Amino acid sequence: MVALEPVEYRIGEQTFTGLLADGTGGAPGICRPGVVVAHEGPGITEHTRRCTVALGELGYVAFAADLYGEPDLPMERAKELVRGFREDRTALRVRANAALEVLLAYDGVDADRMAAIGFCFGGMAVLELARGGADVKAVVGFHADLTTARVDDAENIRGKVLVCLGADDPIVDAKQRDGFAEEMTAAKVDWQMQVYGGVGHSFTNRDIDAYGFPGFAYNASAERRSWRAMRAFFDEVIGSVG
């Protein structure tokens, strides 16, 4: 099993701690695609750790971004931060870009084959990273918030985009999906969307049911399908690591 290595970094005066999973095994001279992993609203949880480790075991160099810089924060504080970032997308882009820069500085990373994935709030973060013009070749949002304050910024997207969503998601509804489709199409982005019938929000997180949020539920089938979709997308866009 690939280990997770804590990595501290700073944005201004604030310290952040991400988690690195090195799929190269530390072998010198090997460069692999890098993947930024952006967490859900509660922060870096076991779900984030599992996904980051899984990417490392596939051979990628994965870095779980710390978008908050506040460890072990209570749920109400996490919700407050998410609300703030929905209002201030520039600040969110700064934090996502900082994590990307940390990953780019790692010796085992191929800077020409960078990707970013995110879940729910983290999906919003990686989509904003792309809208800000970051050089990421592949962006994947799982049950991601698709909204943005600056629709025209989709023209800055330099890579390809995949979003995987539940048809019964109470947060990301059909109107939001349609708006995203219009945004991506107008900007001539190479994009795809997978929608899973009978599936709600946070379907990739096997721990989500414990929170008791209405419309939030783990779905093993949708999790497997979306992960396979991501792997095929990565193979196409940033190349196989096998």
Question: Which residue segments constitute the domains of the chain, with CATH numbers given?
Answer: 5-237 (3.40.50.1820)
CA distance 237 to 66: 25
Q: Which two tokens stand for residue 195?
A: 């929608």
Contact partners, residue 168, CB within 8 Å, separation at least 6: 197, 198, 199, 200, 215
CA angle 64, 69, 116 (to 5 degrees): 25
- The pTM assigned to this predicted structure is 0.97
CA angle 59, 63, 64 (to 5 degrees): 125
Written as tens digits, the pLDDT of the chain (242 aa) is 799 999 999 999 999 999 999 999 877 778 899 999 999 999 999 999 999 999 999 999 999 999 999 998 999 999 999 999 999 999 999 999 999 999 999 989 999 999 999 999 999 999 999 999 999 999 999 999 999 999 999 999 999 999 999 999 999 999 999 999 999 999 999 999 999 999 999 999 999 999 999 999 999 999 999 999 999 999 999 998 86
Report the DSSP beta bridge partners of residue 195.
165
